[in-house]
Every structure is written in C-alpha cells, then in structure tokens.
Structure 1
C-alpha cells in the first residue's frame, strides 16, 4: 500500500473525514486499484456506467495525497458533467449530502472555493 492509499484509508476510519457520516453511512466507496492511477477526470468519466446514479466522483489524485488536508478532486456528474472542484476530505460529506438530497447545486460549492481553488466549507 502506498502513502496515498494509506492516507485515504485513514480518512475512511470511523471519526475520519471520510468515515461514517451523520446519516450512518459512508459518503464514498473506495476503489483502490493501481490501474486507475493517473487518470484524468475525463478518462474517469468514460469508465462510469450509464446506470451510475451518484451526483459526484471524488478522485484522490497526486495533488490530494500530497497534502495532509487530502483535497480531493470532485467531479460533477449531474449538472455540468465533468466540472471539477477541489474539496478537503473533511468537507466531502457536506457536498455529497447536499447534492444527493438536491438541497444545493454543484455550482454553489464551486463558487465557494478559497483563493487556492479548494473548498473548505462555508
């Protein structure tokens, strides 16, 4: 297991930013397969089956795993398919919950990024 994979796994532990959310479920499913390493968001989109119904895809790319904040690359799958925003792992649950429940749009999160292009919450 490499450093990036280990970091994502730690984040998924109970109490971690990608652990069980307030609704008692995990907001993300982890796919740890080196065949997908280095994929661009466009290439990843091409692999998603038509019946996939989740509102987003979160990629733990080289930028994400290089930071202790784990700023995941989140890809919009509904509104403007393929639009991306970086989101610290600790805030992924909020985006997933609000997009899944249609409470907010992807644009609201993309418009609330910091000067460095990373969403850290409202």
Structure 2
C-alpha cells in the first residue's frame, strides 16, 4: 500500500492501530477541545497504510505543511492520550506532546502563525506535555 496523506491544512495522523477504543477516546477528547466558534482545519487521518509511520517518514509525506499531529503508540497507551506535534521543517523532529484538551489552542495558533513550536515547547509540563496556557 502506498503511503499518502490527504489534503488538508492540519492533519491528525494515526500511526498506531493496536487500540481502536483509545483512538476513539482520543478523537472525542480532541473534538471536545473545540467550541463552535473556534476556527479549525483539523483532519483526522485513520488509514492503516500509515501504521508504524515514524515522525521523520510523516514529515517526508507532509508536502508543504509545516506541522502534523501524530497519534502513535504513546497516544494509544497513555491514559491522557497525548499527541505528538511534529515540525515537518526539521526532518520530522518531534517537538512536544499535546494533551487532547489543548489541541484546539495549538492548532489555531499554528494556522494563524501567531505562535510557533518553540512557544509551546518552552511551556510544556515536567513530563513534556503541553496542557494549555490557562490551566
């Protein structure tokens, strides 16, 4: 199977297919992070052809996107389901993890180019997860 990504500005790419319930919980938490007035371009990508895709491989597939959110093994196994923010301009170097409750805040600021990876990476908790500025 060829590995490709769909069109879309912001992608949330599932790369671990070991737990469908964890994926459903993750998506529900991400969707709940948005309110009806929040601008979003987030597209969940649930394609088994992407199983096991590394951040670097994801960056190679990203085209002209500057970031991608990845739902990998840690997302599926950690009870909080933190996603990985991948900076596609740095050969897919993971920069920080995001709690699903904070995805809307990060995605909107990335879309508007109001903030960048360093702004969030400098604001993660001790465990490396960004949970929002207003906690």
Q: TM bucket by the smaller chain?
A: 0.7 to 0.9
Matched position secondary structure for 2:68: strand
CA distance in 2, matches of 1:12, 1:99: 19
Q: Is the 8 A contact 1:21 1:27 kept in 2?
A: no
The Cα RMSD (Å) is 2.4
CA distance in 2, matches of 1:63, 1:92: 16
Matched position secondary structure for 1:69: coil
Bigger helix fraction: 2
Matched, 1:6 2:16: no
| Structure 2: gaps spanning 5 or more residues | 1-16
Aligned residue number for residue 61 of structure 1: 72
Residues 33-54 of structure 1 deviation map (CA, whole Å, 9 limit, x = unaligned): 222111110011111234x4xx
2:50 to 36, 54, 64: 36
1:45 to 54, 59, 64: 59
Aligned residue number for residue 99 of structure 1: 110
Alpha-carbon offset, residue 81 of structure 1: 5.7
Aligned residue number for residue 82 of structure 1: 92
| Structure 1: gaps spanning 5 or more residues | none
Bigger strand fraction: 2
- TM-score w.r.t. length of structure 1: 0.77
- TM-score w.r.t. length of structure 2: 0.70
Q: Is the 8 A contact 2:60 2:91 kept in 1?
A: no
Alpha-carbon offset, residue 114 of structure 1: 1.2
